[in-house]
């Protein structure tokens, strides 16, 4: 009997093979550790990575999987390798948020999502590169260097979860965790040609996630197909008493197959405000093709107007930076991470010098902006107005689902495909506009996902964004599943050696 190549299997198939004893978790771990070791230098998607150290840390997980197999206990992620974004706590591992300031910091506990992954039999294969403290849209703001897009190394992987998206796209791992504050799962998923889901706010516990914008952050899955995305989402979702913002609604297992086998009866809406200036012509053409596919599957397609979405960028960059200013105040050289070693400093000078040395340019810029909008005399003019406008955006989006009978909103995930490294690093506004289509879902707290819908003339992936009402993740995954079945596969980037 020919040996099974784990790379050719979906995560669900890999877990089934390990549960049946057809594959051993240890051999799967070794296979993927070798892939990471070989491919990491190409893409820079893993950080703090040492093969021997990771293999040693996996021993307990591998033993637990074998014990469960002998006890005939089915583990949904048995032996499935997964990479973890560097802002999620894993006990004993460095959790640096890709920042010099936290480079020596090791987590003292497991995040709730990590506890769930371990209980499900997943193999934690490494930590992924990211924009520092999740602040960025290109993964060029990392203290450990930029992530390179597996489809073209001269282009960005997207941010801030660029390392996770690139690791999945390059088949270094079948699954990865990211976090999404304003598009940080969906935009890199779009740029790298994979699937990424931002759940409803509160659907997945944030306990153990280093906070950027606490009212916006959500942990979510990335995968190479809808089935695996749903599998990982089902493991992650659910209540958590340690997170006061976590929903107490207990989710049911996701059912991907629709009874009709098509999208008949579904009302899909594009957003007029997202179809204008700034949208690349090839991305527009790909969206029109995707809509035609949905119509052929029985869906009704309409256009809706959401005029207040135009305020999403200023609202987001006021609220998110204000929350970042508050959340990052704890990183002062006293309790966490590195401290300035410059001699002769008093306490105030030590704070200033530590933060000046430790934080990168983008983080400093956002902290200063957030501190400004929260300061006396400007709080009402900026923060309060932004908070009120956020509620307007939320009600406007909810109204589309509740009053206009729309089941799913669709748009491009990003207005362009992945841009070249360095192209936007000196133009903050241009960089921020990369997230123009993703911010609204975070402001409204609704679920949203990105899935591949083709490639441009340069061979770079184009992403389709699906958005639904709160707790409608299953609906999004069902639509994505039907669409996926009628799309040509993305294939493997040419940069990946065929002999691996």
Q: What pLDDT score does 499 carry? A: 58
CA distances from 40 to 124, 132, 175 (A): 16, 19, 16
Q: Does domain 11-264+409-485 have CATH number 3.40.640.10?
A: no
* Cβ atoms < 10 Å from Cβ of 24: 16
| CB-count exposure of residue 429 (10 Å: 0-12, 13-18, 19+) | exposed
Cα angle vertex 341, ends 335, 343, to 5°?
120
Residue 69 CB partners (closer than 8 Å, separation 6+): 18, 19, 21, 78
CB 190 within 8 A of CB 414: yes
Q: CA 367, CA 325: separation in Å to the nearest integer?
A: 5
Q: What pLDDT score does 344 carry? A: 87
Q: What pLDDT score does 498 carry? A: 62
Q: What is the mean pLDDT of each run of 10 residues along the chain (500 residues)?
A: 81 97 96 95 95 96 96 97 98 96 94 98 98 98 97 97 98 97 98 98 98 98 98 98 96 91 95 94 98 97 96 97 96 88 92 95 96 93 97 97 96 98 92 95 98 97 98 98 94 76
The domain segmentation of the chain, as residue ranges, is 11-264+409-485, 311-376
Can you give the pTM of this predicted structure? 0.97
Q: Which residues are catalytic?
A: 85, 160, 184
Q: What pLDDT score does 500 carry? A: 60
**Which among 342, 420, 465 has a CA at the least distance from the CA of 155?**
420
């Amino acid at each position: 009997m020919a040996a099974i190549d784990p790379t050719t299997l979906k995560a669900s198939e890999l877990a089934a093979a390990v549960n049946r004893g057809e594959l051993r978790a240890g051999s799967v771990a070794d296979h993927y550790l070798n892939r990471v070791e070989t491919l990491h230098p190409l893409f820079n998607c893993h950080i703090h990575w040492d093969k021997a150290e990771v293999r040693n840390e996996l021993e307990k997980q591998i033993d637990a999987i074998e014990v469960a197999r002998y006890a005939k206990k089915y583990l949904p992620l048995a032996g499935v390798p997964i990479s973890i974004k560097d802002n999620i706590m894993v006990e004993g591992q460095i959790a640096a948020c890709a920042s010099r300031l936290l480079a020596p910091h090791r987590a003292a506990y497991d995040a709730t999502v990590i506890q769930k992954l371990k209980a499900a039999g997943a193999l934690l294969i490494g930590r992924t590169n990211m924009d520092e403290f999740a602040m960025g849209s290109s993964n060029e703001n990392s203290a450990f260097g930029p992530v390179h897009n597996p489809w073209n190394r001269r282009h960005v992987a997207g941010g801030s979860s660029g390392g996770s998206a690139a690791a999945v796209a390059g088949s270094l791992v079948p699954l990865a965790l990211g976090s999404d504050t304003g598009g940080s799962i969906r935009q890199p998923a779009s740029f790298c040609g994979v699937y990424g889901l931002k759940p409803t706010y509160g659907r997945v516990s944030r306990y153990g996630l280093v906070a950027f914008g606490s009212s916006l952050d959500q942990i979510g899955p990335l995968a190479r197909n809808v089935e695996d995305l749903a599998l990982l989402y089902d493991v992650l979702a659910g209540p958590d008493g340690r997170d006061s913002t976590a929903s107490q609604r207990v989710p049911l297992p996701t059912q991907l197959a629709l009874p009709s086998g098509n999208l008949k009866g579904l009302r899909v809406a594009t957003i007029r405000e997202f179809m204008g200036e700034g949208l690349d012509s090839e991305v527009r053409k790909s969206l029109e093709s995707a809509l035609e596919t949905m119509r052929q599957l029985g869906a009704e397609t309409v256009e809706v107007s959401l005029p207040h979405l135009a305020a999403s960028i200023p609202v987001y960059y006021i609220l998110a930076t204000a929350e970042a200013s508050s959340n990052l105040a704890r990183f002062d050289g006293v309790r966490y991470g590195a401290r300035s070693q410059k001699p002769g400093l008093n306490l105030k000078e030590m704070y200033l010098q530590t933060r000046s040395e430790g934080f990168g340019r983008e983080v400093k810029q956002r902290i200063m902006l957030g501190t400004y909008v929260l300061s006396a005399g400007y709080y009402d003019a900026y923060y309060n107005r932004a908070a009120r406008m956020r509620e307007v955006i939320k009600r406007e989006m909810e109204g589309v689902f509740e009053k206009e009978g729309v089941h799913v909103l669709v748009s491009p995930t990003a207005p362009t495909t992945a841009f070249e490294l360095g192209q936007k690093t000196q133009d903050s506004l241009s960089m921020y506009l990369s997230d123009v289509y993703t911010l609204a879902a975070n402001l409204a707290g609704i679920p949203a996902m990105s899935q591949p819908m083709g490639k441009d003339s340069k061979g770079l992936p184009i992403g389709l964004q699906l958005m639904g009402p709160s707790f409608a993740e299953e609906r999004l995954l069902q639509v994505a599943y039907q669409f996926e079945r009628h799309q040509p596969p993305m294939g493997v980037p040419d940069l990946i050696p065929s002999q691996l």
